[in-house]
Structure 1
Amino acid sequence: MDKSKPTLLFLHGALGTAQDMEPLMGLLREKGYATHSFNFSGHGQGAAEPTEFRIDLFARDLEKFLKDNQLKNPIVFGYSMGGYVALYHKANYEDSPIDRIFTYGTKFNWSEKAVSKELPMMNPDHLLEKFPNFAESLKQKHGDRWKQLLRSTAHMMQNLERLDGLTREDMSEIDVPVILILGDQDRMVTSEETHLTSSWLHHSQVKTISHSKHELERSNLKEIADLIVDNLH
């Protein structure tokens, strides 16, 4: 790895694991970057159920990883929930070393109406009936507690705005460059909520990736990797 290049830290999304980030991380390693990732609490095979399940907990996970690995001025790429966690950390930790943030498919509108649209996909019985392949992939990633993970995530989503919602004031605390990336076929995250959030940040851009859905594995990873590299110089 090229020691002169910044270190990249990749944060996975809700219901995901660090392994989901591997294809994108591989593209950046090919370009000489050192990459890191880890599982948030409660995610992955053998993970214990945390006593609380919220963005603040995952920000503490991030803080611990940064300190344990002594990452200085890392660039953070957060997919979906991972992007939210990165922004929350930067806004709430005074000594956050994060030097720049890229998000992909990060949702900012967690109103009751917006959340109600997503809740059916958090119902294990609904998934088993309508999306058995997705249910099976969750079993593979998280083992026997995949159903509990869905329920915990649904509860977090329903309380996110009240407990850990990022406000305009939070965003004004973030003084590093932020690039909010959106897939052109993302049906979960709107251009409106992304641009509104961008307007609250001091140094922010919105970038749209072609032929890309919300799911990272159904996005144009090469275009995302190139965008990251182009914006590190």
Structure 2
Amino acid sequence: MSKPTLLLLHGALGSPATLQPLAERLAADFTIKSFAFAGHGGREVRPETFTLPHFAAEILAFLAANESEPARVFGYSMGGYAALLAAHQVPARFASITTLGTKLDWSPEAAAAETRLLDPEKIRAKVPAFAEQLRERHAPADWTAVVRATAALMQAAGAAPPLSAADLSGIAVPVQVLVGDADPTVGTEAGAALAARLPRSRYELLPATPHPLERADLTLLSEKIRAFALSA
């Protein structure tokens, strides 16, 4: 019997490589697939394609080209938001979605807080090891362009959130919303209220879990993803 497909979607500043440790924990039960969003993982950085609506379109195009059945999806942070946006547009493509660290309550103030540290010069000066990681992850593209484009994407989301509360209420796909209890920008009351608008949602706080995926308990996370995806 063939294994079901699980599509893994990376977050902002990420690439499929950042999901590899999680993929290894899920490979026994799923056929793992992934791809790099436009402007990530070495793809050309262009303002017109570095947007949440474009990322959602890329998800739908990938599923149309590679999957004949509704897909199970895990999206980390930005990847989770793009998956929800895609599911709002074409719900029939999705069997279920699990998100982790996905911010739902966007506003100009939230965007300002999120982008405060998205300054390539500050990153290079204060966390040079991270700057080198980004350089390697996004080569041959310019990692500083990825950082600036990510800030612009967040500012656009803050000014006009792609998903309204009404949009979330219309997503007829099972969605598991996982939020780290040590991730204050995502684990807000407003975010929880928006997650509750999803008609077929499961919301859970994960203990001792900050926002960075590499600091999450990947064994616990993989168990949550596995159980929800296989129940769909």
Q: Structure 2 matches for 1:56-135, cutoff 5 A?
A: 56-93=53-90, 96-135=92-131
Give the whole-Å Cα distance in 1 for the aligned partners of 2:213 and 2:134: 15
Give the secondary structure class of the aligned counterpart of 1:22. helix
Whether 1:142 and 2:138 are equivalent positions in the alignment is: yes
Aligned residue for 1:17? 15
Give the whole-Å Cα distance in 1 for the aligned partners of 2:157 and 2:110: 12
CA contact (8 A) 1:194 1:206 kept: no
Count of aligned residue pairs for this structure pair? 228
CA contact (8 A) 2:107 2:161 kept: no
Give the whole-Å Cα distance in 1 for the aligned partners of 2:155 and 2:226: 36
Give the whole-Å Cα distance in 2 for the aligned partners of 1:116 and 1:211: 26
- Sort the Cα spacing of 1:106 and 1:121 in 2 relative to 1 into closer, same or farther, 3 A: same
TM-score (norm 2): 0.92
Give the secondary structure class of the aligned counterpart of 1:171. helix
- Sort the Cα spacing of 1:181 and 1:55 in 2 relative to 1 into closer, same or farther, 3 A: same
Give the whole-Å Cα distance in 2 for the aligned partners of 1:98 and 1:14: 22
Give the secondary structure class of the aligned counterpart of 2:93. coil
Deviation at 1:187, TM superposition (A): 3.3
Deviation at 1:211, TM superposition (A): 2.5
* Aligned partner letter, 2:71: P
Give the secondary structure class of the aligned counterpart of 1:174. coil
- Sort the Cα spacing of 1:197 and 1:71 in 2 relative to 1 into closer, same or farther, 3 A: farther
Q: Which moved more, 1:74-83 or 1:18-27?
A: 18-27
Aligned CA RMSD, in angstroms, stands at 1.6
Deviation at 1:96, TM superposition (A): 3.9
Deviation at 1:129, TM superposition (A): 1.3
Match of 1:165 among 162, 165, 169: 162
Aligned residue for 1:27? 25
Cα shift readout 1:53-95 (whole Å, capped 9, x = no counterpart): 21011011111111121241111100000000000001123x6
Q: Which runs of 5+ in 1 are unaligned?
A: none
Give the secondary structure class of the aligned counterpart of 1:99. strand
Match of 1:41 among 38, 42, 50: 38
CA contact (8 A) 2:107 2:159 kept: no
Q: Which moved more, 1:14-23 or 1:47-56?
A: 47-56
Give the whole-Å Cα distance in 2 for the aligned partners of 1:219 and 1:191: 19
Deviation at 1:51, TM superposition (A): 4.4
Match of 2:189 among 176, 187, 192: 192
Aligned residue for 1:227? 224
Q: Which runs of 5+ in 2 are unaligned?
A: none
Give the secondary structure class of the aligned counterpart of 1:122. coil
* Aligned partner letter, 1:142: H
